[in-house]
Each structure stands twice: as structure tokens, then as C-alpha cells.
């Protein structure tokens, strides 16, 4: 049994600007598992953005294209449980053999390997075996490989061997497409201004988008009312206030790197390249501005610097934005991006 959920397929995984790369890489892998350079395919992104859905979709399509191949979906938690159990029962080798036989292995939420040394070791051996034989590995994580804490370097470097593709928070058009798809599937009619309002209000992730849609439908059904803009606004006012997004340092770094088109591992590195230094300083400044983290905590999360460096970065950004108009533009635009999204 491949443990795949047929409800999560490509047909109902709506394509948009924010998932295009990950989606098409997934399609390619399903077509030629082990036969592309996307091995492993590493899909990352925040909660509710579709990692699990996409992982199942790839598995299902791969199975359909290659009925002779064995596919297995496993959550990292389950993998860890099975391993602990195997060790306890003296079945470690059986466990390893079982995984080494799989043609297409999908492991969901590998960030949960963090801090689990023995499980990382066994996964390392399984990974090498599968990869050497040209079997396909698909991994998901809530962050890119470099940002996973307490993970052996040799594993992180293998995670980067193939293709890393991120799922970003859906943009307006993608949100609207998803809403349209869902109501059509359920045979529900909704005025356009209502759909527009939901798509404009719920920006965080697809799970919340679905949740808010369901609340509106429930409200209308319970009160035997039409779905109007007024009902929608009332229902969502609770929703929005309760689910206000917390701004994380991780998110700030990603936004800054995205903006300047700098890979996030550069910011984390020791490099003193001018544009990277500037991005790093901006990330520190926004972390100070938008989070409650201490200077030393900010420093340790952004490039492993000390609190004095963070303090210096904050001052530099302030000074520069007073004297340099272009720089001030960056700060203002980034500030808006970070707080509004
Ligand atoms: P994650 O694993 O990243 O936390 P999930 O895969 O569980 O997210 O997705 C959360 C919900 O959003 C699921 O119900 C999933 O079907 C839905 N979803 C996510 N992305 C899309 C998409 N592009 N099209 C349609 N539904 C989606
Ligand atoms: Mg998931």
C-alpha cells in the first residue's frame, strides 16, 4: 500500500504564479521518476500552502504513469516512529531493507528530523542507497534545507543535490482561482463581489482560504440567508482578527532575499559582499521592528552574528534611510511588504 490519498491529486491542485515551479517540477518527476535532475525534489513552504497535497499528487501521477514502480508516502513522524519501533524490536535491518526497496519515496515534513540524530543517520543511508540506484526521492519541509536547525550537514547538502522549489503564499489571482474551483465543485453560487472580498482578505494560506469559505457557507446555511457581501464581511471580521499572521524572522529574511533576488543561504553565510551585507542588515532591522525577539536572538537567527552586529545594523539602516533616498524607498517598500502580506 502506497499510503497515497486520492483526494490530493493534480486535477484539484490549482495552478498559479506562486506554485508554478513546484507544480511543474512535480509533474516532471511523476513523468520520469529518477530520470530527471530533480532528485531529490525538495518542496518547501509555510503551513497550509499545499506541500502535502502536492506530494500526494506527484505520487499518484507517478503510479499512474509507472504501475510497475513502488511508491510510498510517509510522514517524517511515522518514519521516526517506525524506526524507533524497529530498533526496539531488533529489526533495524528489516526497516532499512524495506525502505531501500522503494522506487519512489515521498517523505513529508523532513524538518521534523531536526535534532533526531539516529533517525537522521538511518535516513542518510536509505537516501544514499536510493539515490545511487536512481530511485526518486521527494521531500517536503516547512523551510529550505539551509534553514533546518539541528540537521547533519551531510543530509542538508544532499537535500540540495536536486531541485528545491518553494510554495509561496498564493497571490490574489491564485486565491480567486482556488475559491472558484471549490464553489464550483460543491455546486455553490457566490456573487463576484463576495469572492473578490474573500480573495482580498485572506492572504495567508490555502487552508485558511478554505476555512473562511466554509464559515461563510455555514453562516448562510445556518441562518437560511443568501450569501451576500454583508454576511461575508461579518463572518470574516471574526476570522481575520483571530488569524492575524505573526511575523517571523524566517519570513522577514525570505521577503528581503526575495526582494533583492539573493539566495537565503548567502544571508546566512559569512560573505561580505556589499549587496548581501545590506540585505542582512535590513533583515536584522525589520526583525527588530516587527518581532519581539532580542538582539542576540535576532543575531543568532540571521547569519549567526552577535547582538552588537545587530545593533550596528539597525543604526546603519536608520542613518542610511535618512541620507539616501533610494535606500529609503527600499525600506518603505519592504516594510509594507512584510507587514501587509
Ligand atoms: P501543507 O502541507 O503545506 O501544510 P496542505 O497540502 O495540507 O498544506 O494544504 C492545505 C489545504 O489547502 C489542503 O486542503 C489542500 O488541498 C489545499 N490546497 C493547497 N494548495 C492548493 C492548491 N494549489 N489548489 C487547491 N487546493 C490547495
Ligand atoms: Mg503538510
Q: Would you say the C-alpha torsion 34, 36, 40, 45 has a positive or negative sign?
A: negative
Other CB atoms within a 10 A radius of the CB of residue 193 amount to: 11
**Test site for ligand 1: of 6, 21, 48, most ligand atoms within 8 A of the Cβ:** 48
Q: Which atom of ligand 1 is nearest to the CA of 45?
A: 3
Q: Which atom of ligand 1 is nearest to the CA of 14?
A: 24
DSSP string, 196-217: HHHHHH--S-HHHHHHHHHHHH
Q: Where are the domains of the chain?
A: 20-166, 172-242, 249-340
- The rounded Å distance from CA 159 to ligand 2 centre is 18
Per residue in 40-69, pLDDT (tens digit) is 999 999 999 999 999 999 999 999 999 999
Per residue in 103-138, pLDDT (tens digit) is 999 999 999 999 999 999 999 999 999 999 999 999
Bin 163: left if φ > 0, else alpha if -120 < ψ < 50, else beta: beta
CATH 1.10.8.60 fits 172-242, yes or no: yes
- Give ligand 1 pocket residues (Cβ under 6 A): 8, 12-14, 19, 45, 47-53, 178, 206-207, 210
Per residue in 229-266, pLDDT (tens digit) is 999 998 888 766 554 557 889 889 999 999 999 998 89
ipTM of the shown complex: 0.99
- The rounded Å distance from CA 158 to ligand 1 centre is 26
Q: Which of 2.40.70.10, 1.20.1250.20, 3.40.640.10, 1.10.1750.10 is the CATH number of 249-340?
A: 1.10.1750.10
- The rounded Å distance from CA 257 to ligand 1 centre is 25
Q: Which of 3.30.300.30, 3.50.50.60, 3.40.50.300, 3.40.50.920 is the CATH number of 20-166?
A: 3.40.50.300
Q: Whose CA is nearest to atom 20 of ligand 1?
A: 50
- The rounded Å distance from CA 119 to ligand 1 centre is 27
DSSP string, 254-288: HHHHHHHT--HHHHHS----HHHHHHHHHHHHHHH
Amino acid at each position: 500500500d502506497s499510503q497515497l490519498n486520492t483526494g490530493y491529486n493534480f486535477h484539484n491542485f490549482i495552478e498559479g504564479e506562486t506554485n508554478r515551479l513546484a507544480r511543474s517540477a512535480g509533474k516532471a518527476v511523476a513523468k520520469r521518476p529518477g530520470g530527471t535532475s530533480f532528485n531529490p525534489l525538495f518542496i518547501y513552504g509555510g503551513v497550509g500552502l499545499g506541500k502535502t497535497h502536492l506530494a500526494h499528487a506527484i505520487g499518484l501521477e507517478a503510479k499512474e504513469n509507472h504501475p510497475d514502480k513502488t511508491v510510498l508516502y510517509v510522514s517524517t513522524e511515522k518514519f521516526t516512529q517506525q524506526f524507533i519501533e524497529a530498533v526496539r524490536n531488533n529489526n533495524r535491518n528489516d526497516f532499512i531493507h524495506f525502505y531501500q526497496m522503494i522506487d519512489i519515496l515521498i517523505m513529508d515534513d523532513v524538518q521534523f528530523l531536526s535534532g533526531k540524530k539516529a533517525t537522521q543517520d538511518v535516513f542518510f543511508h536509505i537516501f544514499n542507497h536510493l539515490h545511487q540506484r536512481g530511485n526518486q526521492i521527494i521531500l517536503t519541509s516547512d523551510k529550505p534545507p539551509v534553514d533546518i536547525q539541528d540537521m547533519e550537514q551531510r543530509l542538508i547538502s544532499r537535500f540540495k543535490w536536486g531541485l528545491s522549489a518553494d510554495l509561496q503564499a498564493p497571490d490574489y489571482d491564485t486565491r480567486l482561482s482556488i475559491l472558484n474551483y471549490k464553489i464550483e465543485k460543491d455546486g455553490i453560487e457566490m456573487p463576484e463581489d463576495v469572492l473578490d472580498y474573500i480573495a482580498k482578505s485572506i492572504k495567508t494560506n490555502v487552508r485558511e482560504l478554505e476555512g473562511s469559505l466554509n464559515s461563510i457557507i455555514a453562516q448562510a446555511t445556518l441562518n437560511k440567508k443568501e450569501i451576500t457581501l454583508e454576511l461575508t464581511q461579518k463572518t470574516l471580521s471574526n476570522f481575520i482578527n483571530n488569524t492575524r499572521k505573526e511575523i517571523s524572522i524566517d519570513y522577514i529574511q525570505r521577503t528581503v532575499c526575495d526582494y533583492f533576488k539573493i539566495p537565503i543561504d548567502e544571508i546566512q553565510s559569512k560573505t561580505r559582499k556589499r549587496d548581501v551585507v545590506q540585505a542582512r542588515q535590513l533583515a536584522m532591522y525589520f526583525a527588530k521592528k516587527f518581532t519581539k525577539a532580542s538582539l542576540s536572538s535576532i543575531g543568532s537567527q540571521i547569519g549567526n552574528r552577535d547582538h552588537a552586529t545587530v545593533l550596528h545594523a539597525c543604526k546603519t539602516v536608520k542613518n542610511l534611510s535618512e541620507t539616501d533616498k533610494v535606500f529609503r524607498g527600499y525600506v518603505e517598500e519592504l516594510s509594507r511588504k512584510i507587514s501587509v502580506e
